[in-house]
Amino acid sequence: MKELSRIHIAHLPTPVEFLPALTQILKGPKLWIKRDDQTGLACGGNKTRKLEFLLAQAQAQGARTLITGGAVQSNHCRQTAAAAAKMGLDCILVLSLSQKQSRLPALSGNLLLDRILNAEIRWSSREEREQTLQKVYEECLHQGRKPFLIPYGGSNPIGAAGYAYAMRELIEQQKHWSELSSLDWIIVASSSGGTQAGLVAGAKLFGYRGKILGISIDETEESLKKKVATLATEVCALLGEPYEISPQEILVNDRFLGQGYGVLGEAEINAILTFARKEGVLLDPVYTGRAAAGMLALIQERKFSQDENILFWHTGGMPALFADGYQRILRQHTET
C-alpha cells in the first residue's frame, strides 16, 4: 500500500455521531452520521479531503494558480478557492450557467464565498465549459501563472484517493464504538462519483465488509455505476493494489433525481427540515438533501431491517442554503 503525499487542510478525523431521534421516529435501523460537513475549511465538505492530495500534487509541480470549474453554487469551487487562499495560490473558477439564466446570478451562498475568498470568476455556458476551462488554462500558461487544473468535483484518481483514506479513518473509529462494529450500510450522495469510488476502493483496501450505496444526484444508475467502478479501480492501482472493480459490484440508486440537478423539491425540503428539527443537522439543497430524502424513503419502504446499522455520510454543502434561489423556497416553507 502506498501513502500518497498530502497537505493538511482538513480537520480530521471528522466525528461519527448516533442519530437517536431519527432512529426512534423512523422505527427503523440504527442511524449514524459521519460529519464530513465538518472538515473545517471554509464551511467544510467532502472536497476538502480530495484537495489534500490534489494540492500536494500541485505544490510538487510548483503551481501558482489553481483552475477548476463547476455549477454556480459549487461546493467544490468554494473549497478550492479556500484551499488556494490558504496555500497562497491564485484561483480561477469557471462557473457554468444553464441556458435559462439570461443574467449573471447574484452573489449569494457559495458564489459570495468564492468572491470573499478572492477567486476570479469566469462564466461559461454548460455546453462550452470544457473549452472555457482549457482556454483559461492556456491563457495562464502563456502569462507565466503556472496553472494547475483540478477536474470537476476533484474526481480524478488522486482526489478520489482522499476517500479511500477516509474509509480507513472510519474503520479506525469503528474500533472505539462497539455498536458500530457491524456497520451494514454506508449511504452517500454520489455525483461526479469520486467520493463513492474512493470509499469503494478503501473498503477493498482496508477491509470494510458492509455495503456502500450511492444515491445518484443527476445521473442514471447504469452510467454512474460504470464511472464509479472505473475510478475505484484507478484508485486501487494508484495505491499499488491491482484490484479490478466491476460496475456490478457498485450500488447506486437513481430513483431520487427529482426534477433534475439542483432543483429543490418537496422530498429534499422534507429531508432538510427533518434533519434540522430532529437532530440539529443542516443538510444542503443539492446533494445531501436529496441523498437523505432517498435514505428516508428507503427506510420507510422497509428496505433495511431494524437491527441493521446505517451510516449517512454527510458530504457538506450548507452554504447553498443561503443562495438566493434556495433561500426563497426555504423561506416559503418556514414562514409562520
Ligand X SMILES: *Cc1c(COP(=O)(O)O)cnc(C)c1O
For residue 54, the one-letter residue type is L
Nearer to ligand X, 189 or 245 (CB): 189
Interacting residue with ligand X among 68, 195, 253, 274 (CB under 6 A): 195
Distance of CA 84 to CAs 54, 68, 120, 231, Å?
Answer: 11, 11, 12, 25
19: closest CA among 239, 275, 286?
Answer: 275
- Of 81-89, 110-118, 232-240, 283-291: span binding ligand X (CB under 6 A): 283-291
Please give the distance of CA 13 from its chain centroid, rounded to a whole number. 16
Q: How near is the Cβ of 256 to ligand X at its closest, in Å?
A: 13
What positions carry a catalytic annotation? 74
**Shortest distance (Å) from residue 152 CB to ligand X:** 8
CB-wise, 304 or 313, nearer to ligand X? 313
User: In the numeric block, which cell numbers belong to residue 132?
Assistant: 472555457
Q: DSSP 3-state assignment of 100?
A: coil
| 288 contributes a contact to ligand X by CB under 6 A | yes
Q: Does 156 bind ligand X (CB under 6 A)?
A: no
Nearer to ligand X, 45 or 262 (CB): 45
Build a one-symbol-per-residue string for 243-282: x at contacts with ligand X by CB under 6 A, - elsewhere: ----------------------------------------
Which alpha helices (DSSP H) does the chain contain, by range? 20-26, 47-60, 75-87, 109-116, 129-142, 157-174, 194-206, 221-238, 266-279, 288-300, 324-334
- Which is closer to ligand X, CB of 140 or CB of 189? 189
Give the cell for residue 76.
467544490
The distance of closest approach from Cβ of residue 284 to ligand X in the complex, given in angstroms and rounded to an integer, is: 5
The Cα–Cα gap between 121 and 130 comes to 15
Residues facing 147 on adjacent strands = 65
Tell me whether the omega of the peptide bond preceding residue 285 falls within 30 degrees of 0, making it cis: no
Compute the least distance from the CB of residue 178 to ligand X, in Å. 29
Among 155, 216, 233, 274, binds ligand X (CB under 6 A): 155
Q: Does 317 bind ligand X (CB under 6 A)?
A: yes
Alpha-carbon distances, residue 320 vs 45, 65, 83, 185 (angstroms): 12, 25, 19, 27
Taking CB under 6 A as the criterion, the residue among 202, 294, 316, 325 binding ligand X is 316
Taking the least distance from each CB to ligand X, the nearer of 15 and 20 is 15
Residues that bind ligand X (CB under 6 A): 45-46, 75-76, 153, 155, 189-196, 284, 287-288, 315-317
